[in-house]
Structure 1
């Protein structure tokens, strides 16, 4: 695969919460930060599927496995990577793999056995301290007699955090107002035709362009560090802003659990809405609790197969056949049934990216996708 084709694939990837869009590809980047390298790792494997031999894909995938697993409280070995890494020499990508960081991977297992878990193997924590305690404080000052100003700023930041974490009084009030703003977003307005629902006793719906899904806790020991909100968008084009209709994993049956994909189904959120007051009382054949909650109109992909592809370890899903009326299979579900957002990567295969494909229409023009379990550490732990 040439640089031009890889850039084209990177540019075509649809947006998703937590993923960085490299609008010009990777080749124009001159200085690459650690965060950008992590963002590349989230999408690179899916862009290489179909272009590299099986052994090369396995080598890359197993190295990603190690990078993600290394963030667990417990660790695993790099056996699969070492068994397949020579393929890059065979392909002529490099004359050898005598790279210090690759060599260090040979010693990880012994190091863990000798010294325990690999705490503080990188400088990320200290970089964050530098940003929070030095850079931000410097920017808040007038750059004159800076040290007292920076110290005062840091003291005020700490006191503010104490107020927000205080389980009484002002802390609760601020937290409730903040969470209320996050959860409710900005209401919109959409006609019956736009919502694509017919034979209902109303002409309009109050809709949201996004909602915030509380991501379940991290599966490791330090659970509190990973609790966060995940933004799910169903936003039409407006005032020059590109449309975005995100994909989600939905709890679909009683087999569904907190981890894994059993009993779940992947779909694309087209509308987030609340039913009008006319439905109160449950007299029109819908669940009585629906008027009290927010709902989503979701267009489905095909059901997930029983197992992932053994080479790249991602599920392959496709668009289903249209119904007799020309519309895709769809359902209305409560937002509570949405387990998490997900990132779908077009399954490019061996062909070049068609010229008319782009990040805005990739989900519309492509028919086959990879369910990207590298999108985040939580996704890696939860989707397999």
Structure 2
């Protein structure tokens, strides 16, 4: 179902796609660990939209006898039952544990997540740091092990040739200006390169970064913290390059995708400048289409951001990253060759859906 909606869009009546999308919305909201009155009203609205759009299955003759389906009917009662008994996700197991004497009835709710899960390791190497009192919802750090300098020359000019990005030195200089500059009215895009700090030091390259974020509704660890690896490697399992996408936060005051953008990580690296270590990523940008999600599919649509015929590229600090993002191609009416390899999807298609059904956390932050 995480990829099915995009696959059928444009190939079946729009109302059918909308029916499945709104049904998925209702399922994802109902299974959240934390529900309040706002999310319950969102659930009621999703169920109402689903009941409206599912009529297409009756009018087209797919289900002429109607919808006397117990599980679909039960959706109508979820909101009231949640108000009376709490979130369904984990409710029955808690009651069962209490009845078996395995959990005291007055047991307190789990504590808020702390920075215990901020890590310095890569995939499969998650060594936690001491507990900090800061509440965190997301943190991204580079993998523990850097790639060999023989493979990635530490000098910017040589590295540019190796990775095929001739502007990496310029992008680093402009990045440093934005990091050091305290005047919010001036950005590196509005000045000449000569006005930026000059950096000629060594660069350390990594093939992955680790995101740690609060996702209690998904399979997660202690305090609801979840980890995932964001990769940018020229060879993934010997099949070809893998350059993952990620959400970056642009405006913390705006909700959902209105405050975020999607980027594709082309290179993870770090360097030192005047005693400060900067963990960074060289990224390509995507830009959203319209001011709201696609009305049929229910997901935001993005396209590669192209300026004067070239992909918009920049260097970002890892503290702007939130977590990985999953993009689904907008297939349209094209047919995919049988031998097409998924590793090249982001290079072949012209537009994409930001898949908010990838997991519960994606659904919450994109909703």
User: Per-residue deviation at 1:323?
Assistant: 4.0
Alignment match, 2:49? 80
Alignment match, 1:344? 327
Partner Cα separation in structure 2 for residue 124 and residue 219 of structure 1: 15
User: Per-residue deviation at 1:109?
Assistant: 4.2
User: Per-residue deviation at 1:178?
Assistant: 1.3
Alignment equivalent of 1:57, drawn from 4, 8, 17: 17
Native 8 Å contact 1:293 1:334 kept in 2:
yes
Query: What's the TM-score, normalizing by structure 2?
Result: 0.65
Native 8 Å contact 1:216 1:227 kept in 2:
yes
Native 8 Å contact 2:15 2:53 kept in 1:
yes
Partner Cα separation in structure 2 for residue 66 and residue 199 of structure 1: 45
Native 8 Å contact 1:265 1:304 kept in 2:
no
Alignment match, 1:104? 74
Range with bigger deviation, 333-342 or 116-125: 116-125
Gap runs ≥5 in structure 1: 1-40, 127-166, 168-175, 282-287
Partner Cα separation in structure 1 for residue 58 and residue 11 of structure 2: 16
Kindly report which structure 2 residues correspond to 1:1-384, keeping only aligned pairs within 5 A, or say none.
41-72=1-32, 73-74=35-36, 75=40, 76-77=43-44, 78-96=47-65, 97-112=67-82, 115-119=84-88, 178-179=127-128, 184-189=143-148, 190-191=152-153, 192=159, 193-195=161-163, 196-198=165-167, 200=169, 205-216=203-214, 225-237=223-235, 240-252=238-250, 255-257=251-253, 259-275=255-271, 280-281=273-274, 289=276, 292-303=277-288, 305-321=290-306, 323=308, 327-355=310-338, 357-384=340-367
Q: Deviations over 1:140-168 (max 9, x none)?
A: xxxxxxxxxxxxxxxxxxxxxxxxxxx9x
Partner Cα separation in structure 2 for residue 90 and residue 330 of structure 1: 49
Query: What's the TM-score, normalizing by structure 1?
Result: 0.63
- Measured on the aligned residues, the alpha-carbon RMSD in Å equals 3.8
Partner Cα separation in structure 1 for residue 211 and residue 301 of structure 2: 25
Native 8 Å contact 2:300 2:354 kept in 1:
yes
Partner Cα separation in structure 2 for residue 300 and residue 82 of structure 1: 37
**What is the aligned residue count?**
282
Gap runs ≥5 in structure 2: 96-115, 117-124, 130-140, 154-158, 170-198
Partner Cα separation in structure 1 for residue 91 and residue 61 of structure 2: 31
Q: Deviations over 1:247-304 (max 9, x none)?
A: 112223xx334841234321100100112x5xx33xxxxxx74xx0211000112245
Distance 1:52 1:250, change over 3 A: same
Native 8 Å contact 1:323 1:329 kept in 2:
no
Partner Cα separation in structure 2 for residue 124 and residue 44 of structure 1: 31
Partner Cα separation in structure 1 for residue 241 and residue 94 of structure 2: 36
Larger RCO, structure (CA 8 Å, separation 6 or more): 1
